[in-house]
A = this chain, B = another copy of it.
């Protein structure tokens, strides 16, 4: 065990901490009446990912490849070559946290009107099949196996802008299409109403936690501790910052509602997602550009989804889907030629477009199928009355916090 292992473990712990960031972010942006539901969903999807990914998904993703399409052998973490000089259990721990990130994103976007059980079933498929299989195609060779097909094509995705964030974003898109918009979000005349934002300071805390965790996300993806780590961390920070600038300017010039609030949050996260593809390859000024452009794309795509009548409660589709795709494609334009693996820039652009498209087709397509089947069997959506009441009460009989509030009001007024 050496400094590389220690670095991976510290980074994995930081990536785990994204769970805390997402819970704060999502809770902050939704309506009070659903915050308990969303908070607990985040715990439950982590539980599911832990068990399903470690016992099934990891083998599919990192086991010895079958035809460059799927892995195998390491079911239930058996037959792991632990004596190998590579990372063994440390590697599993690191990759588990990445899977956890992918899975936790989806439930946020569908929140406030989706039943709990369908979300948990979706988490099982995402952690056990959709995410690890696509992951195999790009990262399958990270752990002793041969490269799978997208990697062989030359597709570059350093830390998962497409593998993790794109997958999560496009499955979210399928989910919000299948479950439909929240009540009152759009009316028949096309009027758009924002909902939620119950606790923006909590969302700001979540944003800082995510930003912090991203240093582990990108830094750890080196899979060792080498002299590129300083650049990676700086690039991560630059892209987040310029993402905010890009989002604010886009909001200023192209959006009527000059409140900027959503743009600032989406810009920071969009910049972080986008730089995930190339933080290891780009120079600082290019990272600034990646952030700026993706911050802008995130705002535009958010508007576009809204116009289409699609309702994403936490902006996951635009941030993770569009932000991830933007960063992955920009990489082909901006990467120094030494990172093009001998391909011409034009070829690399086509390769990156291919990878992003395959990711969209795979994640969105399977997402649609999955949510369609769940909807036909269990039903995806809570009743209108339940949505009205809020899922805190429906799922967790939350009368306590309300009674507590009433009592407090009473006591304090006595003083």
> What residues of chain A have their CB less than 8 Å away from a CB belonging to chain B?
1-3, 5-7, 9-10, 12-14, 16-17, 19-20, 23-24, 27, 31-33, 35-36, 38-40, 42-44, 46-47, 50-51, 54, 76-77, 87-93, 96, 194-205, 207-209, 211-212, 215-216, 219, 225-227, 229-231, 233-234, 237-238, 240-242, 244-245, 257, 259-261, 264-265, 268, 284-285, 288, 388-390, 392-393, 396-402, 404-405, 407-408, 411-412, 414-415
B-chain residues with CB within 8 Å of residue A399 when the two chains form the complex: 412, 415
Query: Is B33 a contact of A412 with CB atoms below 8 Å?
Result: yes
B-chain residues with CB within 8 Å of residue A33 when the two chains form the complex: 404, 407-408, 411-412
B-chain residues with CB within 8 Å of residue A396 when the two chains form the complex: 200, 259-261
Docked pose: A16 CA to B213 CA in angstroms: 10
Q: A20-B209, A415-B399 are in contact. Are A87 and B230 (CB under 8 A)?
A: yes
Report which of B231, B284, B401 forms a contact with A197, defined as CB distance below 8 A: B401
Query: Is B397 a contact of A284 with CB atoms below 8 Å?
Result: no
Query: Is A205 a contact of B402 with CB atoms below 8 Å?
Result: no
Query: Is B13 a contact of A284 with CB atoms below 8 Å?
Result: no
Docked pose: A400 CA to B51 CA in angstroms: 38
How many whole Å from A287's CB to the nearest CB in chain B? 11
B-chain residues with CB within 8 Å of residue A202 when the two chains form the complex: 201
B-chain residues with CB within 8 Å of residue A260 when the two chains form the complex: 396
**Contacts A1-B229, A16-B215, A199-B401 supplied; 8 other A-B pairs, CB < 8 Å:** A3-B3, A12-B233, A16-B211, A19-B208, A77-B234, A198-B405, A200-B392, A390-B411
Docked pose: A24 CA to B205 CA in angstroms: 7
How many whole Å from A126's CB to the nearest CB in chain B? 16
Query: Is A43 a contact of B1 with CB atoms below 8 Å?
Result: no
How many whole Å from A95's CB to the nearest CB in chain B? 11
Query: Is B415 a contact of A229 with CB atoms below 8 Å?
Result: no
Q: A196-B404, A414-B389 are in contact. Are A201 and B39 (CB under 8 A)?
A: yes
Query: Is B92 a contact of A244 with CB atoms below 8 Å?
Result: no
How many whole Å from A193's CB to the nearest CB in chain B? 9
Report which of B20, B401, B414 forms a contact with A198, defined as CB distance below 8 A: B401
A-B contact pairs, 25 of them (CB 8 A): A1-B229, A9-B229, A13-B14, A16-B211, A19-B208, A23-B204, A23-B205, A24-B205, A32-B408, A33-B411, A36-B200, A39-B205, A44-B264, A47-B244, A54-B238, A77-B234, A89-B231, A89-B234, A90-B230, A90-B233, A93-B234, A200-B401, A390-B412, A393-B411, A399-B412
Which B-chain residue is minimally distant from A34 (CB atoms)? B408
How many whole Å from A187's CB to the nearest CB in chain B? 15
Which B-chain residue is minimally distant from A261 (CB atoms)? B396
Q: A209-B20, A393-B415 are in contact. Are A90 and B229 (CB under 8 A)?
A: yes
Which B-chain residue is minimally distant from A2 (CB atoms)? B3
Docked pose: A411 CA to B120 CA in angstroms: 26
Which B-chain residue is minimally distant from A76 (CB atoms)? B285
B-chain residues with CB within 8 Å of residue A285 when the two chains form the complex: 76
Query: Is B402 a contact of A412 with CB atoms below 8 Å?
Result: yes
How many whole Å from A54's CB to the nearest CB in chain B? 7
Docked pose: A13 CA to B204 CA in angstroms: 17
Query: Is A404 a contact of B215 with CB atoms below 8 Å?
Result: no
How many whole Å from A43's CB to the nearest CB in chain B? 6
How many whole Å from A333's CB to the nearest CB in chain B? 21
Query: Is B400 a contact of A208 with CB atoms below 8 Å?
Result: no
Docked pose: A404 CA to B194 CA in angstroms: 10
Query: Is A13 a contact of B229 with CB atoms below 8 Å?
Result: no
How many whole Å from A188's CB to the nearest CB in chain B? 20
How many whole Å from A229's CB to the nearest CB in chain B? 6
Query: Is A200 a contact of B237 with CB atoms below 8 Å?
Result: no
Which B-chain residue is minimally distant from A216 (CB atoms)? B13
Which B-chain residue is minimally distant from A385 (CB atoms)? B414
B-chain residues with CB within 8 Å of residue A77 when the two chains form the complex: 234, 284
B-chain residues with CB within 8 Å of residue A259 when the two chains form the complex: 396-397
